[in-house]
Copies of this chain bind each other. A is one copy, B any other.
Amino acid sequence: MSDPVYKLFEAVGTSEKSIEDAVQNALARAAKTVRNMYWFEVTETRGNIENGKVKRWQVTLKIGFSLEE
């Protein structure tokens, strides 16, 4: 059996609710086209502001998935 190889890509999930929800949204969208996603790392947490409140959380992720042989 050969040695596993993984690929990484970056995505930005957004949510009006929470940081965790923004991450879940990014993964849910990515899962439509990418299989075998195994781990992620948060690389940036941002948001835009409306009326002095967070309007939308924007969380950047690095996501790793395995390449099938």
Contact = CB atoms under 8 A, between A and B. Distances in A.
Interface residues of A, number: 52
Specify how many copies of this chain sit in the oligomer.
12
Contact of A29 (B44, B48, B67): B67
A54 B20 CA distance: 9
Contacts of A8: 9-12, 60
A42 B9 CA distance: 16
B41 A46 contact: yes
Nearest to A31: B52
Interface string A37-55: 1111110111111011110
Interface of A: 2-16, 18-20, 22-31, 37-42, 44-49, 51-54, 56-57, 60, 62-64, 67, 69
